[in-house]
Amino acid sequence: MQLTILGSGNAAGVPVYGCNCPACARARQDSAYRRRACSAFLETETDNLLLDAGLPDLDERFPAGTLQAILLTHYHMDHVQGLFRLRWGVHEPIPVISPNDAKGADDLYKHPGIFDFTHRAQAFVPLQIGGFSITPIKLYHSRPALGYYLRYGERSIAYLTDTVGLPEVSCEFLAAQEIDLLVIDASEPPRQTPPRNHNDLDLALAIHTLIRPHQTLLTHIGHELDNYLQEHPHALPADVRPAYDGLTIEL
């Protein structure tokens, strides 16, 4: 299977509006350094899944008929914003699998349009979409949020954003799996005070060490982590690297 990082940024994105720090200045000069709303696309010869839907141009990236299902980690706006215009499309219902969040985002439940939000995922209750075997993973975040452990044939990915740390039950589950690729929230550089709602780099690396995937991508990255990584070029172990928008990984 092939994973494409569509967006690797936090809710502010990079560049941050009005910010002139080195990371934001670089992203404004060279769009290769931009970080858009955190999301990814997973595809095989026969199946595909969109992981989160915060990008504004999903209609151009995924013309009608090309999206099999959408997996939402949670209903924060940076993860669902792209659905608001698309929902008024002309299309068969597109299944959206999401955590059991009573409110959703704004009026998405009230006016779902072409999206079917009735598929609620529960932590550790496996589900199947085409050839994908998916286990929702419990996370710690400021509203109901799920990570996903996805298997296709022999290959597997753990996609874990947005989270601050990882519940013990999730660590135990994931440590017992073979994981080819971990994609993990690393929103901030190492903090002196405990991070809230999102991993700092230390927490992300601790999860990497606990879970022992073959390789790890950092995502949901904010401008301050970009600056930190510029200043600390040896901060990451060899099997960990920051994601970037458009990065494709074959597994």
* Cβ-count burial 146-164 (b if 16+ within 10 Å, e if not): bbbbbbbeebbbbbbbbbb
Binders in 77-116 for its own copies, by CB under 8 A = 77-78, 81, 84-86, 88-91, 105-107, 114
The residues facing 41 across adjacent strands are: 4, 50
Residue 32 sits in the site that holds its own copies (CB under 8 A): no
Residue 185 sits in the site that holds Mn ion (CB under 5 A): no
Residue 221 sits in the site that holds Zn ion (CB under 5 A): no
Residue 205 partner contact from its own copies, Zn ion, Mn ion, none using kind-dependent CB cut-offs of 5 to 8 Å? none
Which residues fall within 8 angstroms of residue 5, CB to CB, at 6 or more apart?
40, 183, 217, 219, 243, 244, 245, 246, 247, 248
- Single out the residue of 1, 3, 6, 13 in contact with its own copies (rule: CB under 8 A): 13
Instruction: Give the chain's largest Cα–Cα span.
Output: 50
- Single out the residue of 55, 223, 229, 242 in contact with Zn ion (rule: CB under 5 A): 223
Size, binding site for Zn ion by CB under 5 A: 5
Instruction: Count other C-beta atoms under 10 Å from residue 236's C-beta.
Output: 18
Beta strands in the chain (DSSP E): 2-7, 39-43, 48-51, 70-71, 94-99, 115-121, 127-129, 132-138, 146-152, 155-160, 181-185, 215-219, 240-242, 248-250
* Minimum CB distance to Zn ion, residue 22 (Å): 8
Binders in 72-91 for Mn ion, by CB under 5 A = 76, 78
Binders in 146-175 for Mn ion, by CB under 5 A = 162
Closer to Zn ion at the Cβ: 180 or 188?
A: 188
Q: Can you give the binding site for its own copies, defined by CB under 8 A?
A: 11-13, 15-20, 37, 56-57, 59, 63-65, 77-78, 81, 84-86, 88-91, 105-107, 114
Q: Can you give the binding site for Mn ion, defined by CB under 5 A?
A: 76, 78, 162
